[in-house]
Amino acid sequence: MNPLIRLPSLLAAASILIVALGGCSEKNEAPLFLESNRKGSEADAPVKDVPTDILSTQKAFSNVSKKVTPSVVNISTVSRKKAIQPFFEANPLFEDFFGGPQTRRDRSLGSGFLLSTDGYIVTNDHVVRDAESIQVKLSNDKMYDAKVVGSDPKTDIAVIKITAVDLPAAVLGDSDKLEVGQWAIAIGNPFGLDRTMTVGVISATGRSNMGIETYENFIQTDASINPGNSGGPLLNVYGEVVGINTAIVAAGQGIGFAIPINMAKPVFSQLIQKGSVSRGYMGVTIQPVTDELAQSFGLKQAKGALVNDVIKGGPAEKAGVRQGDVITGLNGSEVKDPSHLQRLVAEAGIGKAAKITVFRDGKALDLSITLASADAVPKQRQRVERGNRQQEGEADLLGLVVVNAEQGDGVAVVDAIRGGAAAEAGIKRGDVIMSINRKRTATTAEYTRVIQQSSRGGNMTILVRRGDASIYFALRLK
């Protein structure tokens, strides 16, 4: 077809189509979008009957946000850290050319909450640690310079202060009453996003042995906690602070940890009053009670803390605590494990009489102990020299070759045969065996006599000195 003939017909068709569309527009003017009749328009909401409990829950979260957000603060810090120069730093001429160690300025973000109307703020120690300058932004966008009042790395709690008055302080709740499944609300500054609110539940309580801090009793929650939330509050539906958001599991989703507020109260109270924290000190070294040790000691359950050494002159020695005791209670609280006992002692108070329950020789005993200050702990304990002489000999029933220790206190292990009962239990060359089944083994003669009196197939509890530490091992004589 000739294109010169086709063009006019196409233009005519287009004109007719435009007229037709124009006519349709004039007759049916449809709205560009629909608006709900809840806003005064004509369209019905897709869901008319929302359950009242859902509406109530939604309202509760909104109320918490409105009431508590003003007490949450954003914290930004600037610190100076040493810059790593892997290729030049080892060169002795590096500082001659560049004038000393090179540093860089690091900026970080965190959260906190107002503890008082006059400017005391609780946050994490790691948020403000080594900071050269600290700035705090309130919910009204006012900025303040802050200074550190005190910090406690063992619990990762710090208190900072701004100069201001009539501030909206947070209300503290009771973390001991938390139950798994209750609502948990986090407000903070994740990734610099001001006053972000996330909601979840209490996933667990009493989490310890996480390797995060020295004293651990974490609340676990699936409320989203991200970098920048550190130091912010974990709240219940009443808007009360029940925890201080502290850590996350980087490889997991919905696994965050908060310090219980009841654990934090005595810490930040001492930080405000004197800038540091003093804790109770018992004067023992302890280890976990395994199933094997529990069976060996006659315990029904593998709970408590096994005393593997008593510090001379310490509160425990004065109270009558002995090596080999299993501490099962303190002031009426059942001791779950060594970390739990450590926390209970730290919180028990200095110079106050406390009741300690120990399991000894098949029965429970109550002792009275007056805890001292942990500040008075000896910096170095006297080392026990171990026999390190080489000697050939035949392994005994435990698979050990032993000699008298040089200091005459125990027998030194000079060889632990692979596959032997002792080696499988964890005893190794260089250890000093102090007792077996609570019977002293100061010499090889005493050691041999105890071994010979033991029956094959029976459980044995062996106390070993390893360096400065005393450790109990449980094994079965083959």
Residue numbers annotated as active site: 126, 156, 230
- At residue 424, the 3 state secondary structure works out as helix
- The count of other CB atoms within 10 Å of the CB of residue 227 is 15
Asked if 213 and 226 touch (Cβ cutoff 8 Å), the reply is: no
Give Dmax over CA atoms of the chain in angstroms.
Answer: 123
- Report the amino acid identity of residue 214: T
Give alpha helix (H) positions in 99-235. Answer: 125-128
Asked if 358 and 325 touch (Cβ cutoff 8 Å), the reply is: yes
The CA distances from residue 154 to 110, 284, 349, 416, in Å, are 19, 19, 17, 38
- At residue 3, the 3 state secondary structure works out as helix
Q: What number of CA atoms fall less than 13 Å from residue 342's CA on the CB side? A: 17
Asked if 225 and 171 touch (Cβ cutoff 8 Å), the reply is: no
Asked if 444 and 402 touch (Cβ cutoff 8 Å), the reply is: yes
The DSSP code sequence of 83-114 is: PP-TTTTTSTTHHHHHTS--EEEEEEEEEEEE
Q: What number of CA atoms fall less than 13 Å from residue 279's CA on the CB side? A: 20
The β-bridge relationship of strands 469-476 and 459-466 is antiparallel
The CA distances from residue 397 to 303, 420, 447, in Å, are 30, 8, 11
